[in-house]
Chains A and B, each alone.
Chain A
Amino acid sequence: MARSDLPFRKDNAGRFVQWLVMVLVFLSAIAATVNAYTDALLTHWSRSVVGTMTVQVPPAAEGRSSSDAARDAEKVLAALKLHPAVASAKAIPREKIVTLLEPWLGSGAAITDLPLPALIDVQLRPDSTNSAASVADLVVKAVPAALVDDHRVWLSRMTDLAGGIGKIALGLVGLIAASLAFTVIFATRASLTEFMQTIEVLHLVGARDDYIAGQFARRALTEGIVGGVLGLVLFAPTLAAVVWLAKQVQAGVLPQVELPPLHWFVLALLPFLAGLLAMFTAHFTVRRALRAMV
């Protein structure tokens, strides 16, 4: 470590900064990971629904028999199979629909007697996911009462949610950075007061403001990095515990998604970012304070 003219080892303000950086980096890591997980989840979900469509053919209405409805479904299926963008189109068997509804409507005779729509699951070719609109047109032309859901509304709501979480995470990180800066300012001022006599001597033997501020800045950088690394050390078992708990939850509710390498890189950078922020803040604070001297 570089030689210092100031007795920082005796100074408690510095240790406080280190402790606080630990907590702040820990919180930033959580905020960043929640944000990254939300993004990854969204990508995971959108990947599984983009290129799929669900066509609902309404059940027999008054004046129509259920065989009319079945014929409508056949018509839609036939039309879909002719469209070049459609990779496959399958009617979902009535038993499966009943099973899907069971959690809400219960099982038994009541549900099997319900007039249920026919559902058709459509997979588009990977290179023609943009043709969703023309496929929907085709379906409606074949059976005007049919409803086409290409999940866009759902997906856009999920994107909004993820965007909101991202903004909150960013705001948190901003608050955390501001807390760090303010703490460094106050801790540096406390050290300045404590070391005033030493600083005066350095000043009077011709030290430039940079020389004195540099010593505070180096100390703040070290404390920021050490505190930041401790924060990550604290974060690792926390993350492991959350992952373990998530695995205990029924699969499907929280899908296992891989976080991108960039995320881990950003986490690894956090201690250095905290150190740099502390360094610049300390430098700035000391330079300002020294201006009170001739």
Chain B
Amino acid sequence: MAFNRKKKTFEGDTVQLENVSVGYGEVPPIISGVSLNLPQKSFHFLTGPSGTGKTSLLSLLYLANLPMAGSVKLFGEDVMDASRSRLAALRRRVGVVFQDFRLLDHLSVFDNVALPLRIARVPEDVVMQDVKELLNWVGLGEHMENKPAVLSGGQKQRVAIARAVVNRPKLILADEPTGNVDDKIAVRLMALFIELHKLGSSVIVATHNESLVARFPFPRLHLENGVLTPRPAAGQAG
């Protein structure tokens, strides 16, 4: 793929969590005392039963929330000290596939995918080229001008993934990205994440699809009862 724009480089780990707790108000924290270092160019599955805080942990990493305790560093930068515009800049280096896609219904598929590039003020001719190429790659070349409403669940998911990766983020977070597609497409989408990983991005794929986890040789982070436990890779190369 022709994504060769220069990105800011940094030393150290992509993600550094230290003793992080996430919670809302008086109820016990959803995540408590999690510490985690994800090196650059790593690939992890995030597993665990539903409702154990996988989405909360991810939302911390895409900076939708700040922790109630502990420290979060992204690309070596402490997010607790970052200004609003720095936080926005950090978000632009993170690509997120939301579980509910969060596509903008009033925009075409093309404009949805182009959004991160336009926000990053990428020249329009580059936007045209990159978005078209990526949409063709995920098999949606025929649907560029359609609105998301007319797409199937699986197609929407691919649009969401295309939007997450179009700006070549250094950290890709995917929340159940293969939940709505058949196995063949799931493998194809995983191949896209793996390619971006090989090109230098760190990837976290949250899933409870055990067969998917078993298929790929990546370590997993298991979240249960608010506690995160690293587990070695179980899968075979696929």
Q: Which residues of A contact B (CB under 8 A)?
A: 3, 5, 7, 10, 197-198, 200-209, 211, 291, 294
Please tell me which one of the listed residues A5, A202, A294 contacts residue B66 in the complex, with CB atoms under 8 A apart. A294
Given contacts A204-B63, A205-B92, A206-B93, 17 further A-B contacts (CB under 8 A): A5-B118, A198-B104, A200-B102, A201-B115, A202-B115, A202-B119, A204-B62, A204-B96, A205-B91, A205-B119, A206-B90, A206-B91, A206-B94, A206-B116, A206-B119, A209-B85, A209-B88
| 18 A-B pairs (CB sep. < 8 Å) | A5-B104, A5-B111, A5-B118, A7-B106, A198-B104, A201-B102, A201-B115, A204-B62, A204-B63, A205-B115, A205-B119, A205-B163, A206-B88, A206-B89, A208-B84, A208-B88, A209-B88, A294-B66
Contact A201 B91 (CB under 8 A): no
Shortest 9 CB-CB distances between A and B: which pairs? A206-B92, A206-B91, A7-B106, A208-B88, A207-B119, A205-B116, A201-B102, A206-B88, A198-B104
Contact A5 B115 (CB under 8 A): yes
CB neighbours of A5 from chain B (8 A): 104, 107, 111, 115, 118
Separation of A214 and B118 alpha carbons in the complex (Å): 14
B64 located at the interface, meaning its Cβ lies under 8 Å from any Cβ of chain A in the complex: yes
Chain B interface residue number, banded: 20 to 34
Separation of A211 and B88 alpha carbons in the complex (Å): 11
Separation of A61 and B94 alpha carbons in the complex (Å): 104
Separation of A3 and B111 alpha carbons in the complex (Å): 10
B65 located at the interface, meaning its Cβ lies under 8 Å from any Cβ of chain A in the complex: yes
Q: Can you name the residue of chain B whose Cβ is closest to the Cβ of A7?
A: B106
Contact B84 A209 (CB under 8 A): yes
B138 located at the interface, meaning its Cβ lies under 8 Å from any Cβ of chain A in the complex: no
Q: Can you name the residue of chain A whose Cβ is closest to the Cβ of B60?
A: A294
Please provide the chain B residues from 90 to 139 with a CB less than 8 Å away from any CB of chain A in the complex.
Answer: 90-94, 96, 102, 104, 106-107, 111, 115-116, 118-120
Contact A206 B64 (CB under 8 A): no
CB neighbours of B91 from chain A (8 A): 203-206
Q: Which residues of B contact A (CB under 8 A)?
A: 62-66, 84-85, 87-94, 96, 102, 104, 106-107, 111, 115-116, 118-120, 163
Please tell me which one of the listed residues A10, A206, A294 contacts residue B65 in the complex, with CB atoms under 8 A apart. A294
CB neighbours of B107 from chain A (8 A): 5
| In the complex with contacts A206-B92, A294-B66, A201-B104 CB distance below 8 A | yes
Question: Which of A5, A204, A205: most chain B Cβ within 10 A?
Answer: A205
Question: Which of B65, B111, B116: most chain A Cβ within 10 A?
Answer: B116
Separation of A17 and B149 alpha carbons in the complex (Å): 30
Separation of A205 and B111 alpha carbons in the complex (Å): 13
| In the complex with contacts A204-B64, A205-B91, A206-B116, A197-B102 CB distance below 8 A | yes
CB neighbours of A201 from chain B (8 A): 102, 104, 115
CB distance from B151 to the nearest CB of A (A): 17
Q: Can you name the residue of chain A whose Cβ is closest to the Cβ of B163?
A: A205
Q: Can you name the residue of chain B whose Cβ is closest to the Cβ of A207?
A: B119
Separation of A291 and B65 alpha carbons in the complex (Å): 13
CB distance from A102 to the nearest CB of B (A): 77
CB distance from B105 to the nearest CB of A (A): 8
Question: Which of B85, B102, B106, B116: most chain A Cβ within 10 A?
Answer: B106
CB neighbours of A291 from chain B (8 A): 84
CB neighbours of A204 from chain B (8 A): 62-64, 91, 96, 102
Q: Can you name the residue of chain B whose Cβ is closest to the Cβ of A290?
A: B84
Please tell me which one of the listed residues A3, A198, A200, A207 contacts residue B88 in the complex, with CB atoms under 8 A apart. A207
Question: Which of A198, A204, A208: most chain B Cβ within 10 A?
Answer: A204
CB distance from B169 to the nearest CB of A (A): 9
| In the complex with contacts A205-B116, A205-B163, A294-B87 CB distance below 8 A | yes
CB distance from A280 to the nearest CB of B (A): 19
Separation of A145 and B106 alpha carbons in the complex (Å): 89
Separation of A201 and B95 alpha carbons in the complex (Å): 12
Separation of A228 and B70 alpha carbons in the complex (Å): 53
Contact A208 B102 (CB under 8 A): no
Separation of A177 and B89 alpha carbons in the complex (Å): 36
CB distance from A1 to the nearest CB of B (A): 15
Q: Can you name the residue of chain A whose Cβ is closest to the Cβ of B90?
A: A206
Separation of A211 and B205 alpha carbons in the complex (Å): 29
CB neighbours of B66 from chain A (8 A): 294
Separation of A197 and B85 alpha carbons in the complex (Å): 20
Separation of A207 and B62 alpha carbons in the complex (Å): 13
Separation of A205 and B63 alpha carbons in the complex (Å): 10
Separation of A206 and B88 alpha carbons in the complex (Å): 5
